C-alpha cells in the first residue's frame, strides 16, 4: 500500500516551507517516530517525523527545494501493511492545497503604485524583501549606527526570534545587545522603559501584543506619561514592537488588535505598517524617535514580499499616511493587514466601474487627519476597513474626523467594515465569518456609491 | 548581560551563612553579618551635623507642605515623609553624585531634598506652579531631576522597581560603574513585578540596590495583615539576593548599611535587598484619617525612636554647642518659609503649557 508523505503545516500560518534536508534515502526502512527530514519554515527549522512504517520508495522533492507548498507530496512510502495509522494517507486526494500557484500577497503588485513620501529618490533600485526581513534590517542598521540601541524580549536571541524577526542579530551584535528575557512581560517592559529613561534606546519585542496586556501599565503609565509629567525633563525613547491582531486559528486570547487601545493614549507614537518598505522605513524612524513608540506588526504579513528602495538609509516620516492606490469614486481608509484587503477590494470594484482610492494610515498616532480629509475631498465618499472590533476603533476615530472637519465634503454616510463584535472564535468557518475580508469591503464601497 | 548567571565569587572569609543558601559560595547573610559586626557609620561632627540639617529640612518642609495642603494650596494626593527622614538621608549620602541613580514611588519629596534639590522648586511643584520642577504638570507624586540622576516620582505602586532595574541595566550596559537605588515600600513589596525584577536583576547581575522602606503600613494595612513574610529583607532569598535588615531610624546605621551594600554591588556581585525599618508619623496621604492605629503607637515612636531627636542627642553628646543646633533650626525654618512663599506667589503655568511636552518631537 503506497502512502504519500505530504509537506506538513508546522505553524498556524505556514503556507510553504523549504525542504532543507532528507535524513533518509530511497529504500530505507522507517519506523514510526524516525526523523525523515528537516523542514525550514519562515519561523524555524523543524524535524519531520514518520508516522507510518515501511520502506521509502521515492523522495519526490529533492533536498534544498524552497517554496514547497503545505500538502504537497514530498515522498512516498511502501507501507508494509503495518501502518501505524492510516491517518493522513493516500486516498485523500490532492489535499486542500492553499490556492494554486502564487497565493500572492494580496495587492502586492499594487503596492508601489504611488508614493507620496517625498524621500523616495527618483529611479531608486528596488530590492524585494519580506516584511520580516525588512524589520530585521531596520533593527540591524540602527544597531550598527547607534550603540545605545539593543533588543530584548522572549526568544529574540538564541531561538532567533519566535517569528524569526530578530534572526541573525545575536550573531552580529552579541548577547550584550540581543537579550533573551525570562517570560516576564510586566518586568521586562518596565526594565526596558527604565533603560530608556537612563539614556539607552531599547527595542522591546513582545512575542505578541496579546502578552503585552501584562505590561500595558509600563507602556501607558511609565513610558507614555513621563515626558509630560516631568515638564519635558525626562524622555523615554523606547520601541515596543511585535505582532498584533489575528493570526490564524489561534483563538480569542491570541488574536486581538490593540491598535485602538494604544492609539488612544497621548504621549505614545503608534505605528502599524503594511508592506516591507513602510515596515523598514518606519521602524528605523521609530528607533530614532525621542518618544515612546508602539510598533504593531502582523504575523500574517511577515512572510509577504514587497519592494523596498535599495538605498543606504531608508527612513520614512512618522505621522504621514500614504495613498497606495489613487481613485476618484470612494476612499477606503485602512492600515496593517487591512491594506492588502482594501487593495484587493479595489481591484474588484474597478471591474464594476467603481474607482476606489486606498489610503494606508501607517501611523495611528499622531493620526494624519489632513490625508484623510484630502482624500475625502477627492472622492466625497469614504469607508474604513479595519481588522479590529468596531466599537471605539480606529474606524470610529476616522469617522469622527470626517464628521468634525469633512461634513460638507460627504456625499454619503461614512461606513466602517470591521471584525464581528465577538471574541475571535477558533472554528475555521466562524473565524472566517468574524474577520474582515475583501468582499465585505466591496459591499460597503458599493453601498456608499449607491450601487 | 544575557549570559546565564555566573557562579558568585567566593565570599571573603569573614562572611558566613552559606548553609542557608545551599552552598556554592553564596553567602546570603554575609552582608548582615558585616553590619552586625559594626552597625554605625563613624561620622565626623561635620558630617553628622550635615545629616541632622538635611533630616530637619525634610521634616520642616513636610510640615509646611501639610499646612499648605490644609489651606488648599496643595491639591490631590500628598504623601509626607515625616518619620522616615533617616532613610533617604543616610542612603543618599553614600552615593556618588552625578553617577549613581535614584528612583522611588510617590512619597518622593524627602528623596529630592536629600539630593540637595532646591526646596523652592519642589514646593512650587506641590502648589502646581510654572516654576515647579515639572512645570506644575507632575505634582507631588511626579517629580524628576535628570540633572541629579533622580528618576522620579512614580505613582503606580511597584513600577519603580523594574524601572530602576532598567536604570541599573543602563549603568551596566555603558559600564559607567554606577549603581541604581530603587526605593519602594512594604506595600509595593507584594506586587508581582517586584519579583519579576528580582529574578532578572539577579540573573543578569545588575548593579541595583532594592530599598524597602518598611514604614509598617501599606496605606492602612499593617504589614502583618498583608504579608506572609514580614521580614522583607529575606524576600530576595529565592533569587539569591542577599538581604540587609537595617534600623531605618538611625541615620548612621543607614549610612553604614548603604556602604556595605554599595561595596557589594560595585564589586560586580549583583543586587542587594535592604529593608529599612522605619515609621510614618502622618497618614498615608493627607486624606488619611489614620483609624487603623492608635495615637499611643505613633506617640511612642516619636518619643523613643525619632531619627532627628536621636541625631540631636548624638550631637549634644559629642559636645556640639546647642546654640549651633538652634542656628541650624532657625536657618531651615527661614528656608522653608521662603520656599512656601515662592510656591504661593509663583504664577500658575501658562495655558499654552497644556499642550506642550506630550511628545518630544513634532511629526
Overall average pLDDT of the B33-47 stretch: 96
**CATH 3.40.50.920 segments of chain A:** 322-448
- Which positions 77-136 of A are in contact with B (Cβ < 8 Å)? none
B104 contacts chain A (CB < 8 A): no
| Strands annotated E in chain B | 101-104, 150-153, 180-185, 208-214, 217-218, 221-222, 243-247, 272-277
B148 contacts chain A (CB < 8 A): no
Mean pLDDT (chain B) is: 92
**CATH 2.40.50.100 segments of chain A:** 2-79
**CATH 3.40.50.970 segments of chain A:** 124-309
The residues, any chain, with a CB within 8 Å of residue B360's CB and separated by 6 or more, are A227, A232, A235, A237, A289, A290, A291
> What is the Cα–Cα distance from B35 to B253, expressed in whole angstroms?
8
Statement: residue B320 has pLDDT above 70: yes
One DSSP character per residue, B288-317 reads: ---TTS-HHHHHHHHHHH-HHHHHHHHHHH
What is the mean pLDDT of each successive set of 10 residues along chain A, which is 451 residues long?
83 83 91 85 78 88 91 85 40 38 37 50 88 98 98 97 96 98 98 98 98 97 98 97 95 96 98 98 98 98 96 95 98 98 98 98 98 98 98 98 98 98 96 97 98 91
Chain B residue numbers with beta carbons less than 8 Å from the beta carbon of A366 are 359, 363
Tell me B103's DSSP state: E
Chain A residue numbers with beta carbons less than 8 Å from the beta carbon of B122 are none
CATH 3.10.560.10 fits A124-309, yes or no: no
B2 contacts chain A (CB < 8 A): yes
Statement: residue B315 has pLDDT above 80: yes
Q: B31: cis peptide before it, omega within 30°?
A: no
**pLDDT digit string, tens, across residues B118-161:** 999 999 999 999 999 999 999 999 999 999 999 999 999 999 99
B166 contacts chain A (CB < 8 A): yes
Considering only residues A124 and B297, tell me which one the structure prediction assigns the higher pLDDT.
Answer: B297
Which of the following is catalytic: A4, A15, A218, A254? A254
Active site residue A254: yes
The residues, any chain, with a CB within 8 Å of residue B317's CB and separated by 6 or more, are none
Nearest residue in B to A363, CA atom? B363
B152 contacts chain A (CB < 8 A): yes
CATH 3.40.50.920 fits A322-448, yes or no: yes
A351 contacts chain B (CB < 8 A): no
Nearest beta carbon to residue B170 from set A200, A217, A233:
A200
Report residue B240 as a C-alpha cell.
539569591
Place of cell 524627602: B110
> What is the Cα–Cα distance from B48 to B66, expressed in whole angstroms?
27
CB A20 within 8 A of CB A63: yes
The residues, any chain, with a CB within 8 Å of residue A421's CB and separated by 6 or more, are A389, A390, A391
B352 contacts chain A (CB < 8 A): no
Statement: residue B14 has pLDDT above 60: no
pLDDT of A449: 98
Active site residue A218: no
pLDDT confidence band for B27 (50 / 70 / 90): low
How far away is chain B from the Cα of A193, in angstroms, using its nearest Cα?
6
Statement: residue B194 has pLDDT above 50: yes
Test A230 with B197 for CB contact under 8 angstroms.
Answer: no
Which of the following is catalytic: A142, A185, A205, A387? A185
Statement: residue B23 has pLDDT above 80: no
Q: Mutation target for B interface from A149, A174, A187, A189: give the one with most B CBs within 10 A.
A: A187
> What is the Cα–Cα distance from B201 to B207, expressed in whole angstroms?
8
Nearest beta carbon to residue B166 from set A179, A195, A319:
A195
Test A231 with B161 for CB contact under 8 angstroms.
Answer: no
Test B138 with A189 for CB contact under 8 angstroms.
Answer: no
Which of A118-127, A262-271, B92-101, B199-208 has the least mean pLDDT? A118-127
> What is the Cα–Cα distance from B143 to A99, expressed in whole angstroms?
59
A227 contacts chain B (CB < 8 A): yes
Considering only residues A99 and B261, tell me which one the structure prediction assigns the higher pLDDT.
Answer: B261
Chain A residue numbers with beta carbons less than 8 Å from the beta carbon of B203 are 182
One DSSP character per residue, A81-118 reads: S--S--TT-TTSTTTT-SSSS----TTGGGGGG----T
pLDDT of B285: 85
CB count, 10 Å around CB of B96?
Answer: 12
pLDDT of A96: 38
pLDDT of A40: 86
Test A190 with B154 for CB contact under 8 angstroms.
Answer: no
- Tell me the CATH class for A2-79: mainly beta
Nearest residue in B to A231, CA atom? B134
Summary count for chain A: helices (H), strands (E) = 12, 22
Overall average pLDDT of the B159-166 stretch: 98
CB count, 10 Å around CB of B48?
Answer: 21
pLDDT of A1: 66
Statement: residue B33 has pLDDT above 50: yes
Size of interface A-B (CB pairs under 8 A): 168
- Helix ranges restricted to H, A275-358: 276-288, 337-351
Chain A residue numbers with beta carbons less than 8 Å from the beta carbon of B166 are 190-198, 202
Chain B residue numbers with beta carbons less than 8 Å from the beta carbon of A216 are none
Q: Mutation target for B interface from A147, A191, A199: give the one with most B CBs within 10 A.
A: A191
Taken in order of first residue, the domains within chain B and their CATH numbers are 46-344 (3.40.50.970)
Test B170 with A198 for CB contact under 8 angstroms.
Answer: yes
Q: Which of B246, B184, B174 is nearest to B207 (CA)?
A: B174
Amino acid at each position: 500500500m503506497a502512502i504519500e508523505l505530504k509537506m506538513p503545516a508546522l505553524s498556524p500560518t505556514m503556507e510553504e516551507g523549504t525542504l532543507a534536508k532528507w535524513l533518509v534515502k530511497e529504500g530505507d526502512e522507517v519506523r514510526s517516530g524516525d526523523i525523515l527530514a528537516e523542514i525550514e519554515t519562515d519561523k524555524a527549522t523543524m524535524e519531520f517525523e514518520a508516522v507510518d512504517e515501511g520502506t521509502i520508495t521515492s523522495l519526490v522533492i529533492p533536498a534544498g527545494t524552497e517554496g514547497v507548498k503545505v500538502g504537497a507530496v514530498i515522498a512516498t512510502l511502501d507501507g508494509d501493511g503495518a501502518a501505524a495509522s492510516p491517518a493522513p494517507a493516500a486516498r485523500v486526494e490532492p489535499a486542500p492545497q492553499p490556492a494554486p500557484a502564487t497565493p500572492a500577497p494580496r495587492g502586492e503588485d499594487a503596492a508601489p503604485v504611488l508614493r507620496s513620501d517625498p524621500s523616495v529618490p527618483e529611479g531608486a533600485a528596488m530590492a524585494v524583501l519580506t516584511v520580516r526581513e525588512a524589520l530585521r534590517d531596520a533593527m540591524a542598521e540602527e544597531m550598527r549606527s547607534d550603540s545605545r540601541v539593543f533588543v530584548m524580549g522572549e526568544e529574540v536571541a538564541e531561538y532567533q526570534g519566535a517569528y524569526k524577526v530578530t534572526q541573525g542579530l545575536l550573531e552580529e551584535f552579541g548577547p550584550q545587545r540581543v537579550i533573551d528575557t525570562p517570560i516576564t512581560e510586566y518586568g521586562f517592559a518596565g526594565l526596558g522603559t527604565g533603560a530608556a529613561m537612563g539614556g539607552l534606546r531599547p527595542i522591546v519585542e513582545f512575542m505578541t501584543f496579546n502578552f503585552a496586556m501584562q505590561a500595558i501599565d509600563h507602556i501607558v503609565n511609565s513610558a507614555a506619561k513621563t515626558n509630560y509629567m516631568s515638564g519635558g525633563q525626562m524622555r523615554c525613547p523606547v520601541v515596543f514592537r511585535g505582532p498584533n491582531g489575528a493570526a490564524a486559528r489561534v483563538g480569542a486570547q491570541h488574536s486581538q488588535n490593540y491598535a485602538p487601545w494604544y492609539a488612544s493614549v497621548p504621549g505614545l507614537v503608534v505605528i502599524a505598517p503594511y508592506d516591507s518598505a513602510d515596515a523598514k522605513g518606519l521602524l528605523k524612524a521609530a528607533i530614532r524617535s525621542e518618544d515612546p513608540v508602539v510598533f504593531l506588526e502582523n504575523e500574517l504579513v511577515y512572510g509577504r514580499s514587497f519592494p523596498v528602495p535599495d538605498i543606504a538609509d531608508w527612513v520614512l516620516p512618522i505621522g504621514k499616511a500614504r495613498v497606495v492606490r489613487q481613485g476618484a469614486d470612494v476612499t477606503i481608509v485602512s492600515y496593517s493587514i487591512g491594506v492588502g484587503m482594501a487593495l484587493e477590494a479595489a481591484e474588484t470594484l474597478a471591474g464594476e466601474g467603481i474607482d476606489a482610492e486606498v489610503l494606508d494610515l501607517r501611523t495611528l498616532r499622531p493620526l494624519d487627519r489632513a490625508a484623510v480629509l484630502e482624500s475625502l475631498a477627492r472622492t466625497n465618499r469614504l469607508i474604513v476597513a479595519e481588522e479590529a472590533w468596531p466599537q471605539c476603533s480606529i474606524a470610529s476615530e476616522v469617522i469622527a474626523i470626517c464628521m468634525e472637519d469633512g461634513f460638507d465634503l460627504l456625499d454619503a454616510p461614512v461606513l466602517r467594515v470591521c471584525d464581528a463584535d465577538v471574541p475571535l472564535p477558533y472554528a475555521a468557518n466562524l473565524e472566517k465569518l468574524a474577520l474582515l475580508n475583501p468582499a465585505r469591503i466591496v459591499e460597503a464601497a458599493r453601498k456608499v456609491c449607491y450601487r | 548581560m544575557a549570559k546565564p548567571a555566573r557562579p558568585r565569587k567566593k565570599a571573603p572569609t569573614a562572611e558566613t551563612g552559606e548553609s542557608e543558601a545551599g552552598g556554592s559560595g553564596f553567602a546570603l547573610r554575609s552582608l548582615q553579618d558585616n553590619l552586625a559586626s559594626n552597625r554605625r557609620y563613624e561620622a565626623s561632627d561635620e558630617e553628622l551635623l550635615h545629616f541632622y540639617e538635611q533630616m530637619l529640612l525634610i521634616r520642616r518642609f513636610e510640615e509646611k507642605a501639610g499646612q499648605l495642603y490644609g489651606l488648599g494650596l496643595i491639591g490631590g494626593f500628598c504623601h509626607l515623609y515625616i518619620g522616615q527622614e533617616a532613610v533617604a538621608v543616610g542612603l543618599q549620602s553614600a552615593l556618588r553624585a552625578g553617577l549613581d541613580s535614584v528612583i522611588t514611588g510617590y512619597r518622593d519629596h524627602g528623596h529630592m531634598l536629600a539630593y540637595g534639590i532646591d526646596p523652592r522648586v519642589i514646593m512650587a511643584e506641590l502648589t502646581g506652579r510654572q516654576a515647579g520642577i515639572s512645570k506644575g504638570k507632575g505634582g507631588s507624586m511626579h517629580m524628576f531631576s535628570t540633572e541629579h540622576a533622580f528618576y522620579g516620582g512614580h505613582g503606580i505602586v511597584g513600577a519603580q522597581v523594574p524601572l530602576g532595574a532598567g536604570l541599573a541595566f543602563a549603568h551596566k550596559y555603558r559600564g559607567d560603574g554606577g549603581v541604581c537605588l530603587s526605593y519602594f515600600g512594604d506595600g509595593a513589596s507584594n506586587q508581582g513585578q517586584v519579583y519579576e525584577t528580582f529574578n532578572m536583576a539577579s540573573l543578569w547581575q545588575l548593579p541595583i540596590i532594592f530599598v524597602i522602606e518598611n514604614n509598617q503600613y501599606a496605606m492602612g494595612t499593617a504589614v502583618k495583615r498583608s504579608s506572609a513574610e514580614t521580614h522583607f529583607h529575606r524576600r530576595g532569598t529565592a533569587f539569591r539576593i542577599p538581604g540587609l535588615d537595617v534600623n531605618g531610624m538611625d541615620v548612621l546605621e543607614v549610612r553604614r548599611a548603604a556602604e556595605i551594600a554599595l561595596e557589594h554591588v560595585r564589586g560586580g556581585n549583583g543586587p542587594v535587598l535592604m529593608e529599612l525599618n522605619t515609621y510614618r508619623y502622618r497618614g498615608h496621604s493627607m486624606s488619611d484619617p489614620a483609624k487603623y492605629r492608635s495615637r499611643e503607637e505613633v506617640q511612642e515612636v516619636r518619643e523613643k525612636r525619632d531619627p532627628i531627636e536621636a541625631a540631636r542627642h548624638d550631637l549634644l553628646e559629642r559636645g556640639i554647642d546647642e546654640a549651633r543646633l538652634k542656628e541650624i533650626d532657625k536657618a531651615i525654618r527661614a528656608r522653608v518659609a521662603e520656599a512656601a512663599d515662592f510656591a504661593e506667589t509663583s504664577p500658575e503655568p501658562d495655558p499654552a503649557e497644556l499642550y506642550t511636552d506630550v511628545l518630544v518631537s513634532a511629526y
